[in-house]
Amino acid sequence: MNLLEILQEKKKQILSTWIDRTLDSHISSGFFKKSRDQFANPIGANIRDGLTKIFDLLVSKAAIEEFTAPMDQVIRIRAIQDFLPSQAVAPFLELKWVIRQALTDDKKLDLEKLNLADLEYEIDKVALAAFDMYTRCREQLYQVRIKELKSGSHILTDSTCPSKMVRQDIETLSKIH
Domain boundaries, the chain: 3-176
Say what the pLDDT of residue 1 is.
75
Q: What's the pLDDT tens digit per position in 155-164?
A: 555 566 666 6
pLDDT tens-place string over residues 86-106: 999 999 999 999 999 998 887
pLDDT of 124 over the 80 cut? yes
Q: How confident is the model at residue 160, as a pLDDT?
A: 62
Tell how far CA 129 is from the center of its chain: 13
pTM higher than the cut 0.75? yes
CA–CA dist 88, 74 (Å, integer): 9
Task: Check residue 66 and report its DSSP letter.
Answer: G
**33 vs 117, higher pLDDT:** 117
Whether the pLDDT of residue 57 is over 90: the answer is yes
Residue 81 — very low, low, confident or very high, per pLDDT cuts 50/70/90?
Answer: confident
Q: What is the mean pLDDT of residues 138-150?
A: 85
